[in-house]
Amino acid sequence: MSALAHRRFLKMHGAGNAIVVLDLRGSDARVAPEEARAIAADPGSSFDQLMAIHDPASPGTDAYMRIYNTDGSESAACGNGTRCVAFAMLDDPAMARPAESGRLTLETSAGLVEVKRVAERSFTVDMGRPRLAWNEIPLRDPFPDTRRIELQIGPIDDPILHSPGVVSMGNPHAIFFTERDPAEFDLAKIGPLLENHPIFPERANISIAQVVGRDRIVLRVWERGAGLTLACGTAACATVVAASRLRMIARQATVALPGGELFIEWRADDHVMMTGPVFLEAEGTLAPELFDAAP
């Protein structure tokens, strides 16, 4: 029997991004890729990202997080999911443990993440410094300027989208800026082609962004390993960084995604701060038969 059988989970979302939080502290249980896929396939526990909470790995931290996409692959960062984990660890009766002043230090494979409560159901996450060098994102080819790279969809003389900015927020992002409403593009068709483009050796999150003011961006995202999503916190962060580098905005903006809004600030110390809400939808337990024929 899977070690995850009968485990309690919370189904949440942050600005529409479907999140499942699974508390594995106090055990040696790990989520295997096929188990993540099985959990995602069940309507009662479907997710964009699964956030598994483990005992701290480093002194001074509150927990270690592992982040899984619907295809079972792991991600090093998920801002919306991190806010949901913070809510669970601070407020959920079965998960909550004492924390000073509504602050947590969480660890992922990308490093430490600081989270603080700013309202009853709103949290600010320090997403760390963006990585802007081509080999840090990473890209296959050595582009000296990652504000815009040579990549396009459509005919050479009349591309549908071209010249994205690329940024890593612990995971790789490509952001195409357009003057049109991002909803006009068939991202369900374009997204998987670009996610798996050879120029991205670790695949990439693909975003289409419209800057509608000096402090507001409309965004749609095809998420690596998950597909079309109502929200993606790291994509919102990467988009504000990319737009700021092109002087389309200053260093902060509200990012409007189909599932809600996030406020992003790229501070002078190079850290990207993301503030947004969390919503608790339901709780449940993972049935043993869910894993009997895990895909």
Q: pLDDT by residue (tens digit) across 41-81? A: 999 999 999 999 999 999 999 999 999 999 999 988 899 99
CATH number of 8-126+279-291: 3.10.310.10
Go through 99-131 and write b for each residue having 16 or more CB atoms within 10 A of its CB, e for each that does not.
Answer: eeeeebbbbbebeebbbebeeeeebbbbbbbbb
Domain parsing of the chain, residue ranges: 8-126+279-291, 152-270
Taking the C-alpha atoms of residue 162 and residue 151, their distance in angstroms, rounded to an integer, is 6
Angle value at C-alpha 155, between 153 and 160, nearest 5 degrees? 45
Helix (H) or strand (E) holding 90: helix 79-91
The gap between the terminal CA atoms of the chain, to the nearest Å, is 15
What are the pLDDT digits (tens) for 230-279?
999 999 999 999 999 999 999 999 999 999 999 999 999 999 999 999 99
Share of the chain above pLDDT 90, in %: 86
The domain defined by 152-270 folds into: Diaminopimelate Epimerase; Chain A, domain 1 (3.10.310)
Closest CA relative to residue 287, chosen from 14, 35, 27, 11:
35
Query: Is the fold of 8-126+279-291 the same as that of 152-270?
Result: yes
This prediction has a pTM of 0.90
Taking the C-alpha atoms of residue 137 and residue 174, their distance in angstroms, rounded to an integer, is 10
Six-digit token string for 283? 């709780």
Collect all residues with Cβ–Cβ distance below 8 Å to 98 and sequence separation of at least 6: none
CA quadruple 250, 256, 261, 262: dihedral sign: negative
- The residues carrying an active-site annotation are 78, 232
